[in-house]
Chain A
Amino acid sequence: MEVPILKQGAFLIATFQAALSDADLNQLRMGLVQQVVKFRSRAVIVDVTAMDVMDSFASRTLREIAHMIRLRGAETVIVGIQPEVAFAMVQLGLTLEGVATALDLEEGLAYLNEKFKITNRG
């Protein structure tokens, strides 16, 4: 299942659908970094609103994505983690340490705009 990656000015937005397989996650990791390089994006927002479970593989992949993207000088924000998912994650010790998080897409964009103090163009 392809994860749609949209360009929003200097940012990329990747929207997870529910139930991504491990293969999908691996594909996404490579795909996102390539897109960051191609568009010289400043940041990536990963929207996981549709995910109703987050296992350790998905959680690790998200951290790796953020890490790889940081190596390209860009920021990652994970948005849309549901309360039940957040609760389950911390009980399993999956804290997404070192990765920025926000409530939803709107908050994620607000955070990035504040951080970079730019308005989106084109």
Chain B
Amino acid sequence: MAKRDNTPTDLELKRTEEPSELLRELVAHLRQNRTQLREEWVVRISETRLLTAMTKEEIFAEATSVYDSYVEALETEAFEALQAYARNLSERIIPRGVETHEVVGIVLLLRDVLARSLFAKYQNDFKKLNRILDAYEPAANRIANTVAVGFVQERERVIRQQQEAIRELSTPVLQVRERLLILPIIGVIDPQRARQLTEQLLRGIRTNRAKVVVIDITGVAAMDVTVANHLVQTVEASRLLGATVIVTGLSPEIAQTLVTIGVDLGKMNTVGDLQGGIEQAERLLGYKVASIAEER
């Protein structure tokens, strides 16, 4: 930047100190006073009762690495690295029961602790303090934002993973005899799960060449109209693949729902319980079950 030869005015002084120079200066200060500032921060964390799920030693260990990452992010403005660090940190602490407000809380506390220390250092030069804060604040805000977003993204990833695991657990299609499949449904069915069940069942009918399917819904407490319709569609789609469906275990509430939506019960084969359903299925397939003792 070109300098004029006459006496520099305040305006000139402002221009000669690049923001990056100011940033370097404050980063140097934060590094020099690292031990003291970090200690102050840990004290503030326990005063505000954050991170109660973690021990003092754990908090101290994490505080050290968060502090260093914070200062490094201020210096290098490498926010992707910070976001990766935040996700990594979240992966460690989410299972410990740490909440979003705690993570955002401690980052903001650190912001405050560091800001206060800057106030103290530059208290005699108000103009310089302002320039320092001009450099500090946008970077500090971006850091808080980045860490919060990283944390939330990690939580969302965990939630998606768990949802997927639950879905896989709860929809087994089981072959109990030649040409006979059982689909025991347990828990809450939402439209998405209902759709997945249907796809899985149809594939199972084709793979196992099933002629009869028993869908047992004893473990389903309630079913809304959308899902009840889906069940009817499942029965119809199975028929298109040449399989007969027997539905067992309807609770009184679900029976009511089916009647309300006007299901043609002539089209739907229902039996009270799973045992009855399997017995009927066996009859349809031409099996007869006889006790060995009787046959003698």
Determine whether the beta carbon of B198 is less than 8 Å from that of A87: yes
Q: A106's closest neighbor in chain B, by CB?
A: B209
Across-interface contacts of B203 in A (CB, < 8 A): 83
Interchain CB contact under 8 A, A89 and B240: yes
Given contacts A87-B198, A87-B199, A90-B233, contact A103 B206 (CB under 8 A): yes
User: How many cross-chain pairs have Cβ atoms below 8 Å apart between A and B?
Assistant: 51
Closest CB of chain B to A81's CB: distance in Å?
A: 5
Contact A102 B202 (CB under 8 A): no
* Docked-complex contact B242 and A101, CB < 8 angstroms: yes
Q: Which residues of B contact A84 (CB under 8 A)?
A: 202
B237 CB-CB contact with A under 8 Å: yes
Asked if residues B233 and A96 are in contact (CB atoms below 8 Å), the reply is: no
Q: Does A107 contact B (CB under 8 A)?
A: yes
Q: How far is the CB of B184 from chain A (nearest CB, A)?
A: 20
Contact A87 B202 (CB under 8 A): yes
Which among B199, B241, B243 has the highest number of chain A CB atoms within 10 Å? Answer: B241
Q: How far is the CA of A101 from the CA of B242 in the complex (A)?
A: 5
CB within 8 Å for A87 and B237 given contacts A101-B242, A102-B242, A103-B242: yes
Q: Which of B201-248 contact A (CB under 8 A)?
A: 202-203, 205-206, 209, 211, 233-234, 236-243
Pairwise interchain contact A89-B237, C-beta atoms closer than 8 A:
yes
A86 touches B240 (CB 8 A): yes
Give Cα A79–Cα B237 distance, bound, in whole angstroms. Answer: 13
List chain A residues, Cβ under 8 A from B241.
81, 83, 86, 101, 103
Interface contact B242-A79, CB-CB below 8 Å? yes
B179-203 contact mask (Cβ, 8 Å, vs A): 1 or 0? 0000000000000000000110011
B206 near A83 (CB under 8 angstroms)?
Answer: yes
CB A8 to nearest CB in B, in angstroms, measures 18
| Of B205, B233, B238, the contact of A91 (CB 8 Å cutoff) | B233
A95 to B209, CA, bound (A): 20
Expressed in whole angstroms, the Cα–Cα distance for A82 and B242 within the complex equals 11
Interface centre among A84, A87, A101, A111 (most CB of B within 10 A): A87
B202 contact set on A, CB distance < 8 A: 83-84, 86-87
Further contacts, 4 of them, CB under 8 A, given A81-B240, A107-B211:
A90-B240, A101-B242, A103-B209, A103-B241
Q: Which 4 A-B pairs have the closest CB atoms?
A: A83-B202, A102-B242, A86-B240, A90-B233
